Amino acid sequence: MKKSDSKDDYPTAAVRHFCDANLLASNGRKDNAMCHYAFAAECAIKALYMAYQADDPRKYGHTMKQIWNDINLYYNVLAIMDAESGEWLGRMKIPEKLFCRHPERRYYKDIDYTDEEIDDSKYFTEQLIRKIVIQTLDGKEL
């Protein structure tokens, strides 16, 4: 599948979910915020994937482990040629709770997330969002 064949607008969805998550978190709705941070991170990861891979990221479904590994491999290779471009991802680790039971947990009863878990997920997701915004501003097709 070519990039243009996908009906999904992952960068826009990532930003939308991130804004929703921040709004929910600021109103004490940690469970709903965490769900939206996960969707925002998922969309951002899929947008980054589409930036270098021509096939459809929907093949991964909501399972983020394999797509994250594939993206890491790409950025590790990129670091050989351009250390600055490849380096940013190597320092990032997916917060343990971010994709835990994602997306099924949106139908569960409330889960008690700590402030630290929310903050870690927000920071991780924000870094991904920043990366796709920078790439978009730099004229890279996502």
Task: Dump pLDDT digits (tens) for 15-25.
Answer: 999 999 999 99
Residue 43, pLDDT above cutoff 70: yes
Predicted pLDDT at 109? 65
**How many structural domains are present in the chain?**
1
Residue among 48, 64, 49, 70 nearest 98 (CA): 64
Q: Does the residue 142 lie in any domain? A: no
Average pLDDT over residues 118-130: 92
Q: Does the residue 21 lie in any domain? A: yes
Alpha-carbon separation of residue 122 from 7, 56, 82, 87 (angstroms): 27, 26, 27, 20
Predicted pLDDT at 3? 46
Domain of 98, CATH number, reads 1.20.120
Domain span including residue 10: 3-137
SS3 120: helix
**What letter represents residue 69's amino acid?**
N
Task: Dump pLDDT digits (tens) for 55-107.
Answer: 677 777 767 777 777 777 766 666 666 666 666 666 677 788 887 877 766 66
**What's the count of helices (H) and strands (E) in the chain, helices before strands?**
5, 0
Q: Tell me how far apart the terminal alpha carbons of the chain are, to the nearest angstrom.
A: 14
